Amino acid sequence: MFRKTFLLIVLITLLLAGCGPDALSGEAPASAAITLTDGLGRSVILNEAAKRVVSLAPSNTEILFAVGAREQVIGRDEFSDYPAEAASIESVGGSMGEYSVEAIVALKPDLVLAAEINSPELVKQLEDLGLTVYYLANPSTLEELYVNLEIVAQLTGEDPTKLTDSLKARVDAVDEKIMPLSFHPSVFYEIDATDPSKPYTYGPGTFGDLLITRAGGFNIGGELTDPYPQISLEQIVVSNPSIIVLGDSMWGVTIESVVARPGWETIEAVKSSQIFPIDDNLISRPGPRLVDGLEQLAKLLHPGLFE
């Protein structure tokens, strides 16, 4: 009898679950000035360039400022700390994964710029409240970063040419020096080593992996399968990286503390003191400062080429 009841419940479930109002039946396209498809495959329509923009990610805030739309940014997420003047913009939360939807609505934005760190549920919620949301997908190459900059510039009515030209020139300058090299020093990039016997590192497909490779290095984390894996100390010792980059230096990890870790003294980078702190925000935020990160990594890996 219970078996039947259960089947019945599952059936009712499947039937009723569809009863919510279908709010996705979109509005008819107006004679729009700007129509773009976003990272969720949604068609986003702006009648004119956005004048009141809320940014939901630090990378988005950095992009908005870089393309020259700083005056239009009226709201930002809690983590947006660059450039420093972003701090004076009203925060709409987000540090615990929860954004204040009320605060976003009260700002009356004509564009909310979301990123991949935001959930599709949040996009839906804001969309249902009548807001225009553009979901900016993460770039997987530096070339895709330029496209993202162009998209944001288009949404805000700015001209990105100068910015993208200068970024391209800087990347080209690095490429020119790195491309001919056949020597690629092995690199261990440390994101977090709260447990020094298995620190976190950048795996394949992450910006960290991308930038280390482009800077002429061999990322030992790139050999693993997960994007943000914990690599065992044994694996690090076997891979024997010649350079260690400390992405966690902003959290108080120092060169001395790495040298003092038991078991790390056999690693080539520790023996030859090739340990360098870096600002992880240059590596982890998919914004224009990725190019800064690339330049810094290239200098660390091939100091002779950049004198």
Partner 1 sequence: MRKPFLASFLVLLIAFILSLAFGSVFISHKELWGILRGIGDETFSFIIWQIRLPRTILVALTGAALSGSGAAYQGLFRNPLADPFLIGVASGAGLGAVIAMSIQWPYSFWGLMAIPMAAFITALLTVFIVYMIARVGQTIPTTNLILAGVAFSSFATSLTSFLMLRSTSEVRRALGWLLGGASQAGWAAILAMLPYLVMGLGILLFSGYRLNLLQFGDDQAQQLGLNVTRTKTILLVAASLATAAAVAFSGIIGFIGLIVPHLMRLWFGGDYRRLIPLSIIGGASALLTSDIIARIVLAPQEIPVGIITALVGAPFFLWVLRRAKNQGYW
The answer to whether the beta carbons of residues 82 and 146 sit under 8 Å apart is: no
Binding-site size for partner 1 (CB under 8 A) equals 50
Minimum CB separation from partner 1 for residue 93, in Å? 5
What residue type is 76 in one-letter code? Answer: R
In the bound complex, what is the minimum distance in angstroms from residue 256's beta carbon to partner 1? 29
Site for partner 1, residues 262 to 281, rule: CB under 8 A = none
Q: Are 56 and 118 in contact (CB under 8 A)?
A: yes
Task: Confirm or reject binding of residue 213 to partner 1 (CB under 8 A).
Answer: no
Rounded to 10 degrees, the C-alpha dihedral 139/141/146/147 comes to: -50
> Under the criterion CB under 8 A, does residue 238 sit at the interface with partner 1?
no
Q: Does residue 120 touch partner 1 according to CB under 8 A? A: yes
Q: Which of 4, 18, 179, 304 binds partner 1 (CB under 8 A)?
A: 18
Binder of partner 1 out of 57, 58, 67, 99 (CB under 8 A): 99
Closer to partner 1 by Cβ: residue 227 or 303? 227
Among 4, 22, 27, 256, binds partner 1 (CB under 8 A): 22
Omega before residue 227 within 30° of 0, cis: no
8 versus 181: smaller Cβ distance to partner 1: 8
Reading the block at residue 204, the tokens are 């394949």
226 binds partner 1 (CB under 8 A): yes
Closest distance of CB 240 from partner 1, Å: 26
Amino acid at 211: L
Sign of CA dihedral 262, 263, 267, 271: positive
Does residue 129 bind partner 1 (CB under 8 A)? Answer: yes
- Contact between 5 and partner 1 by CB under 8 A: the answer reads yes
Does 96 bind partner 1 (CB under 8 A)? Our answer is yes
Residue with token string 């990347």 = 171
Q: How far is 21 from 259, CA to CA, in rounded Å?
A: 60
Least distance between partner 1 and beta carbon 125 (Å): 6
Closer to partner 1 at the Cβ: 122 or 151? 122
Rounded Cα distance, 289 and 298, in Å: 14
* Rounded (10°) angle between helices 207-214 and 161-178: 60
Q: Which one of 98, 180, 262, 307 is in contact with partner 1 (CB under 8 A)?
A: 98
Q: Is 73 within 8 Å of 89 (Cβ atoms)?
A: yes
Out of 41, 180, 252, 304, the only residue in the binding site for partner 1 (CB under 8 A) is 41
- Smaller CB distance to partner 1: residue 133 or 163? 133
Nearest to 201 by CA among 259, 283, 116, 282: 283
6 binds partner 1 (CB under 8 A): yes
Binding status of residue 227 toward partner 1 by CB under 8 A: yes
Q: How far apart are CA 299 and CA 236, in angstroms?
A: 23
Residues whose CB falls within 8 Å of the CB of residue 156, separated by 6 or more in sequence, listed in order:
49, 50, 53, 64, 67, 69, 72, 111
26 binds partner 1 (CB under 8 A): no
- Judged by DSSP in three states, 248 sits in helix
28 binds partner 1 (CB under 8 A): no
Residues that bind partner 1 (CB under 8 A): 2, 5-6, 9-10, 12-13, 16-24, 40-42, 78, 91-103, 105-106, 108, 116-117, 119-125, 128-129, 226-228
